[in-house]
Amino acid sequence: MQTGFFIIFINLYVIAYKIYAIEDSNFSNAWNNFTQDPQLLHATYSITIIDNSTGNVTFSFNKDIGLAPASTMKTVTGAAAFHYLGTDYRYKTLLQYSGKVNPFGILNGYIYIVGSGDPSLGSWRWNETKGDIIMQHWISLINGEGIKQCRGIILDLSIWPDQTQTVPDGYPWGGLGNYYATGSSALNWRENQFRIFLLPGSTVGSPVTVTGFENLPQLITFTNELVTGPPGSGDLADVYLAPDSTHGSLRGSLGIDSPKDFSIGAATPNSAIHIADELRQRMNWSKSMPIKIIYQQDVNTTANRITLDTYQSPPMSEIVYWFEQDSINMYGEVLIKTVAQITNSSTNRVLPLYCYNEHGIEQTAVATRDGSGLSPPNRITTSAIARVLYNIQQRASWFPSFERALPIANGIRMKGGFISNVLSYSGYVNKQVFSIITNNYNGVTSVMRQKIWNLLNTLK
């Protein structure tokens, strides 16, 4: 009986080993083919795979080489946000006023909008956050106090007194002005972007016409240099509009077969001024009414303010969901600023310190210039990303919210990233945690993407 049991046990072990070996062979062959691909001839690439059940690294290549991660870095930012803030954290924006209202409805004081960094204020993603709904509510409250005129609008950004620069240093100049590179401040509005509607010309090379705008900030003008591109060329239009500026340029091309209602997203140069301008317009107040931004809190004026409304954002679980799903860079910058404030650190130190303090990862493995991954100078190792993803799956109470936030691409729950000549993916597949980053590949991005997906398919 003992001999028979031993033989059966050995046979089962051999069968199990062969199955594992076949799976490993599939991946190894795919990896060898991947590394010999001409698109990676001059590239630097890295991969780390961790077994969920043991925490051991089952495969790696260049795992400790820091690479530009693009948006796959959002996995670490999202994890840090949940760790420090929790899933139920909500931003609060205050509508206040100071002074007395006379019988004629003139307020001998100011309207205050006090920001907390809420990235969802005015967003179309939730019904309660939509800009029109918030504005209507605020106007109703102001009218309810009998206020018809006031001395001006003061935008209180003192919650982040040192964050006067809205765009990270690492953002590329060529992206500034496009919606994905918009800035962030203590007062964000309508996701700090607006739409520009375009109509291609009747012939290739003819001018593209700007037919309209949606949520255009006051005083913004453009020099339009857009031309009509050939059929199938699509959207190659770029917006050049620097923070705090009022004039920009539209350059590039738009395919001749683009739809008539085609639009592109542009970055709002100053989101705080934008929200005040919109309130001023809707109240029919004079354009000459002063709008002022303050970065330092005045105790005397704060004590004398009356709060009309305390607007609360959706919970952090919902904010991180859209941050990961739609890769909203502005959300990432706000999350980093929020965590920096409560941890008393600089924005560039938030993720290195989080990885070191909570995951035992060397701080030199993580060097960041933003919270979104958009800055080309960002550097992080696949080992660091994979280790964070493994650890939070094993021990974070908020992991279900994090997992839900990750997109599903190619049948795998993972967060991808793309900037010029950078492609990356990090996530979970078949009881494994992985992170893969490629830098400086050549050729067509969609082709490179499919090759990475084919490699990851062998892990399913």
Beta bridge partners, 366, equal 380
Residue 168 and residue 185 in contact, taking contact as beta carbons nearer than 8 Å? no
Residue 175 and residue 254 in contact, taking contact as beta carbons nearer than 8 Å? no
143 and 104 in a single domain? The answer is yes
pLDDT of residue 23: 53
Count of CB atoms within 10 A of residue 62's CB?
Answer: 16
| Tokens at 364, concatenated | 């030199």
The answer to the question of residue 372 being in a domain is: yes
325 and 448 in a single domain? The answer is yes
The answer to the question of residue 16 being in a domain is: no
pLDDT of residue 300: 64
Beta bridge partners, 149, equal 106
344 and 430 in a single domain? The answer is yes
349 and 373 in a single domain? The answer is yes
Residue 56 and residue 72 in contact, taking contact as beta carbons nearer than 8 Å? no
50 and 153 in a single domain? The answer is no
337 and 210 in a single domain? The answer is no
Of 53, 303, 267, the closest CA to residue 172 belongs to 267
Residue 75 and residue 388 in contact, taking contact as beta carbons nearer than 8 Å? yes
The answer to the question of residue 12 being in a domain is: no
289 and 160 in a single domain? The answer is yes
pLDDT of residue 219: 92
Q: Which residues contact 294 (CB under 8 A, 6 or more apart)?
A: 154, 155, 156, 157, 158
253 and 219 in a single domain? The answer is yes
CATH code for the domain in which residue 296 is found? 3.50.80.20
Is the pTM of the predicted complex or chain greater than 0.85? yes
pLDDT in tens, the chain (460 residues): 444 443 343 343 333 333 332 356 799 999 999 999 999 999 999 999 999 999 999 999 999 999 999 999 999 999 999 999 999 999 999 999 999 999 999 999 999 999 999 999 999 999 999 999 999 999 999 999 999 999 999 999 999 998 889 999 999 988 899 999 999 999 999 999 999 999 999 999 999 999 999 999 999 999 999 999 999 999 999 999 999 999 999 999 999 999 989 999 999 999 999 999 999 999 999 888 999 999 987 666 677 899 999 999 999 999 999 999 999 999 999 999 999 999 999 999 999 999 999 999 999 999 999 999 999 999 999 999 999 999 999 999 999 999 999 999 999 999 999 999 999 999 999 999 999 999 999 999 999 999 999 999 999 9
pLDDT of residue 299: 62
200 and 342 in a single domain? The answer is no
The answer to the question of residue 6 being in a domain is: no
The answer to the question of residue 7 being in a domain is: no
Residue 383 and residue 47 in contact, taking contact as beta carbons nearer than 8 Å? no
Q: Which residues contact 118 (CB under 8 A, 6 or more apart)?
A: 91, 92, 93, 188, 311, 313, 334
* Number of compact structural domains in the chain: 3
424 and 358 in a single domain? The answer is yes
- The 3-state DSSP class for residue 84 equals helix
198 and 152 in a single domain? The answer is no
The answer to the question of residue 15 being in a domain is: no
The answer to the question of residue 385 being in a domain is: yes
The answer to the question of residue 417 being in a domain is: yes
Of 430, 429, 325, 426, the closest CA to residue 383 belongs to 426
CATH code for the domain in which residue 428 is found? 3.40.710.10
Helices 329-343 and 350-359 sit at what angle, rounded to 10 degrees?
A: 70
Range of the domain at 358: 32-87+316-457
Rg (alpha carbons) of the chain, rounded to whole number? 26
370 and 235 in a single domain? The answer is no
Instruction: Give the full edge-to-edge strand order of the sheet including 153-156.
Output: 291-294, 153-156, 111-114, 92-97, 306-312
